[in-house]
Every structure is written in C-alpha cells, then in structure tokens.
Chain A
C-alpha cells in the first residue's frame, strides 16, 4: 500500500472514501431499479429478466389503474407546479433584486424560510390553512398545487437571483443606453440572459414536485389525488410487487431526464464552467 503513503501522489485516501460513499449511495438505488425488471413477484430474489411490471397485462405500471393514475397525477402536479412557480419566481427574483428600500431585507429572508422549515411543519400548517382559513379551496389537487408552489417557488427565486447578481445591472443599462425602453430591456436582454437559470430552476422545481411526499400527502383528498410517492409509502409494508420498483424507476427516469435536459440547455447558453457548478448544485 505504498501509494497511500506517497506524499507526492494524489490524495488517494480521499478518492477511496469518495468511491465507497458513491457505491453506498448508488447501490440501493440500482438494486431497486434491478428488481423492477424481475420476472417473478419477489422484490428480493432474482427470478429472471422481464418488463412485465412496466407493461404487462396485469399489475403493471401501464395497466394497473392505481399505479397509472398515481403516475399521471404526479406528472400533472409537477407540470402545473412548474408552470406557476417558474414565472412567479422569476418575477419575484427580479422584484427583489430591484427593490432596495425598506422591508426588502425581510422579504429576502422570508424567501429562504421554506427552504429551512421542516417539511412536516409546513405540511401541517398548510393543512390547517386549507381546512380552517380557506375551506373554500378544500383539500385535493388545487391545494396540492398551491402547497407545492409555496416551497418550490423559493428554489426558483434563489437560483434566478443568483444568476441576476452575477449578471449585474450593466447589460440592462447598456440596453437602455441604446434606446431600449424598460419592457425591451427585460425581454430582449435580461430574460435571454436569465434563460439558463430559468430552465435550471424549472427543472429543479419539477424534480422536487415529483419527489415530494409530506406536503402532497397532507393536502391530498381521495384516491384520485394519490401520487407515486404516496403510493409507494402506502404499499411499502403491504404486499408489494416489483411494480412499485417499476413505478419508482419511471419517476427516477423522468427526474433524471429533466435534469439532464436542463443541464444541456444551461450549458448551451451559459458556457461550460457555470454548467458544472449547476450540476454540482443539483447533485
């Protein structure tokens, strides 16, 4: 083991620890994915390769109504949440950046609150909100969307503001100097420059929405508002089949693809260096 003691060599201890950690964190996920393709009903004993739990005639993600609806509802929530949280978050980030007066500091800190509040606290609080204060909305899809927007918004604001700070006021000033009215300063210069951050934040919001369990669970009403994560939780101790692994695999694939797509867009527009930092952040 002389390489471990070589003071001129690369710090191999660190490499070793990193490798062990990566294995430790990836293996369970890979195992879960592997058993999604099991031919039998077991989630622990390998019985051959099959895609029956994805597309088979019974009990598969595609044909079991409960699984299919859960996946559909998850995606619906994610899409609606992104569609609301992204533009709202961008607007908020722009507003906070410009707003230098009294109270801006408070609002700034408040924006970070959802990021540090334990989700269960937020879940309970939102539940009370919809039961007592806004009973008109009630529990269900609308409440779930509002709940998810409430905290994904913070991620959008934080990511977009980071980019805004690094862009600085200069490009807007240049646009104004060249004759662009405020509207064009925004649409011809600022938003194109923010595009990578907007795409990245939308992807993050999407991924968070798909993953979310606590808030979504609290604000759900009946079976039609069950999401994949709720389904997994409810069935984990019952009589699970590899179909659960299959649906989790589908969810994982969607999240990963979204992030990869966002990464590519980001790199396309912002140059390699910043894309790497984004990738680090997302991991």
Chain B
C-alpha cells in the first residue's frame, strides 16, 4: 500500500535557529497521522519539508522507500492543504481544482470528469464557477481539499486546515475529514496545536516540542501513557507531583511524596531519585478524611465546580500542591462534602500513578514552563480564528 513516510534523522536549521532537531518518525500508509505541539515546536517546518518547500539541513524523507529530500515540490507525489488555503484568487473553483491536472497526462474528458468527481466529493458542485473569495471559510477549505485530492496523491499534508474556522464548523469538519480519510485510505499528515482535534481525528499522534518528537503513539496511548512531563501536560489535564523514587517493588515503583510512600504501577519503574509522578484527575478517588493510610493524601477542598456531568474539585494537599480531581455525577450525592474547606482524602491508586521522565528536549522542563506553553497555545487559537488572507 503506497503512502508510507519515514523521516530519518530529519533536521532543519534557519541560521542559528534549529527548528527541527533530528526526528525519526514512521507514518504508516493509510493512517491519519497528526503532528501535535505548541507553536514553534517544528511541526509546520516538518510538514513543509515533507511537501518540499523547505530543504532539510540533514536527514532523509523516505516516501515509499525513496528518499525525496532533494526532490523539488512539483515532482513529489504529495499534496498540501494550506492553513490559509492559498486558493488562486484569479481562478474560479473549477479551475482551481483543475490546476494540477495539467501536469498529469490525462485526456480532456478524463480531466473534466476528475474535477467533477472532486467537487462532488466535497459537495461543491454548484459552486464550480464562483471565485474563491465569494466562498465562506468552510467552502474555501473544501475547495483546497478538492484541489489536492483530485491529483490522487499518495499522501495528503494538512497544515492546521481548520484553524481559521469557527468552533462549530471545526467540529463538523473534523468528523468529515476523518471520514474522508477513512474512505480514501490515503495517508493524511495533519498539523495542529489543538489537542482535542488531534485526539478525535488521529490514528497516531506525534507530540512535538522544541524541534523534537516527545512521543509518537495512538491517541489513547498518548493520553493514558504519556512518556514525558511535556506530553502529560500538553494533552489533557494532569496532576504532577514532585517525588523521589526509592526502588522497584515487584510490578511497581515505590516513590516518596513528602513523608508518604506511594506505589506507581506505570511508566519508568526502574529509575531512582527525583522524578515526577503524574495522575489524571478522573483517576483520583476522593474519600472522607477519615480514610487514611497507604496510597492516600489528605487535603482541603479549595474550589468545586459543577460541570453537569461531573464536579471538578481542586484540593490543596499536604505539602502544598493543588490537585485537580473529578467526581462523576451518577445521580447520587457525592461521597464526601465538596464544599470549600472540607477535609478530604485523595486515594492515588498504583495502576493510575505514572512515573515520568523529563522532556525529550531536556531535563530542565518544569511544570511552569509547560504551563506557559499552554497559554501560548490558546493565544495561537485566538489568532487562528482570524480570517485567512485573501
């Protein structure tokens, strides 16, 4: 099956600035592969190297077994959907879609047929003779898709294609894009900074940070088994605790948090010394403060937010850390008082506690840094809602 991409030791430096710092990624054929990360992490540069707009500083880009790193973009059998779509404003929709067919040896009738099919695929048949700037953002996005797909590429590259759309349309198109990819069966390489987008659409996600891949795995594995602090922070909500690993105990690793010992059933179980221990809010069990002993941290409720399906509870635990937990709303009253000031006990089950290694980009990665990164991401989202350049 064609559409197999392997990046081998790929780097890209712009002068002093290293955008991509040596990544090895396998993008199996027919998969929806997502490059996820904050702005400046190198994901777009990576995509642009696959497309051929940037020449790698070193490394190989294997497309179905051939290194295409030195092949100019117009000779690569990959096509791109640009963030701002880049529809040719001087051509109408049909001519935009037909643009690349000129370079494939096709009969005239075959060409017209392919254009019609592509427009039908994205439901834009009746807009064939509109100019690009007479279309809405969502329609432009679909023209950009049709223009790329009509060439039947082995790989479709998408650079934050939903970034400029409003939230509701984005949700619809997420589903449509995923369905389209499944139907066509070609490899999609999708770049986004939106973790939710990545989780809902991808077969596999590579989380990037500072020019390196932190982890590449299916969405569920990324969420459930993050390998680094950065990944844990970037995807979903996580509680991170400073701890000291004191040694392996069977299938678990004992860690000391303050004066208490906890057992971690996941992650890097063989390390010793300072580590970060991570647990997702929904995996924490909130209990009355009378429950004490192993696996438990006492604390005081600081804030409790009713979200409908659940309560989000912020608990200040012994040692000063603020931990986020969720209590599912199953109709019965919560097991303990969730009022601010209430004393509770948090149970951290071994199977949900995970020992993390620091970021692949360097051991200095702190929680604060990761947080500012998330702030940057939301800034990004704001600017991404601006209309595309015409």
Q: Which residues of A contact B (CB under 8 A)?
A: 168, 170-171, 173-182, 184-185, 188-189, 192-193, 195, 269, 271
On whether A181 and B89 interact (CB within 8 A), knowing A173-B53, A175-B99, A176-B52, the answer reads no
CA distance A185 to B133 in the complex (A): 21
- Partner-binding segment picked from B32-40, B77-85, B174-182, B266-274: B77-85
Across chains A and B, which 9 residue pairs bring their CB atoms closest together, nearest first? A178-B100, A179-B103, A174-B86, A176-B73, A170-B86, A192-B90, A176-B74, A177-B80, A179-B100
Given A168-B389, A181-B74, are A174 and B88 neighbors across the interface (CB < 8 Å)? yes
B residues in contact with A188, CB < 8 Å: 99
A sample of 29 cross-chain residue pairs with beta-carbon separation below 8 angstroms, ordered by A number, consists of A170-B84, A170-B389, A171-B86, A171-B88, A173-B80, A173-B82, A173-B86, A174-B80, A174-B86, A175-B88, A176-B74, A177-B73, A177-B74, A178-B79, A178-B103, A178-B147, A178-B148, A178-B151, A179-B75, A179-B100, A180-B99, A180-B100, A180-B102, A181-B74, A188-B99, A193-B88, A193-B90, A271-B133, A271-B390
Q: Which of B86-102 contact A (CB under 8 A)?
A: 86-90, 99-100, 102
Q: Does B104 contact A (CB under 8 A)?
A: yes
A interface secondary structure, majority: helix
Chain B residue nearest to A171 (CB atoms) is B86
Residues on the A chain within 8 Å of B51, using CB: 173, 177
Q: How far does the Cβ of A265 sit from chain B's closest Cβ, in whole Å?
A: 13
Contacts of A179 in B (CB 8 A): 74-75, 100, 102-104, 151
Q: How many residues of B contact A (CB 8 A)?
A: 28
For residue B133, which residues in chain A have a CB less than 8 angstroms away from its CB? Answer: 271
Least Cβ–Cβ distance between B160 and chain A, in angstroms: 13
- How distant is the Cα of A176 from the Cα of B99 in the complex, in angstroms? 11
8 A Cβ contacts from B368-390 to A: 389-390
Choose from A171, A173, A189 the contact partner of B73 (Cβ within 8 Å).
A173
B65 close to chain A: CB less than 8 A = no
Least Cβ–Cβ distance between A15 and chain B, in angstroms: 33
Q: How far, in Å, is B22 (CB) from chain A's closest CB? A: 25
- Mask, B266-305, CB within 8 Å of A = 1, is 0000000000000000000000000000000000000000
Decide yes or no whether B341 CB sits under 8 A from chain A. no
CB contacts (< 8 Å) of B309 on chain A: these are: none
Once the chains bind, are B100 and A176 in contact (CB under 8 Å)? no
Chain B residues with CB under 8 A of A174: 80, 82, 86-88
CB nearest neighbor in B for A181: B74
* Complex: chain B residue closest to A193, CB-CB: B90
| Cα distance, A182 to B51, chains bound together (Å) | 15
Q: How far is the CB of B49 from chain A (nearest CB, A)?
A: 13
Q: Which of B1-59 contact A (CB under 8 A)?
A: 51-53
User: Does B319 sit at the interface, judged by CB under 8 A?
Assistant: no
B72 sits at the interface (CB 8 A): yes
In the bound complex, CA of A173 to CA of B103 (Å): 15
Partner of B90, one of A170, A185, A269: A269
Q: Whole-angstrom distance between the alpha carbons of A177 and B79 in the complex?
A: 6
> CA of A261 to CA of B248 in the docked complex: distance in angstroms?
83
A176 interface neighbour in B72, B88, B104, B389, Cβ under 8 Å: B72
List 15 additional A-B contacts (Cβ < 8 Å) besides A171-B88, A176-B53.
Answer: A170-B84, A170-B389, A173-B51, A174-B87, A174-B88, A176-B72, A177-B51, A177-B53, A179-B75, A179-B151, A180-B99, A185-B74, A193-B89, A269-B90, A271-B390
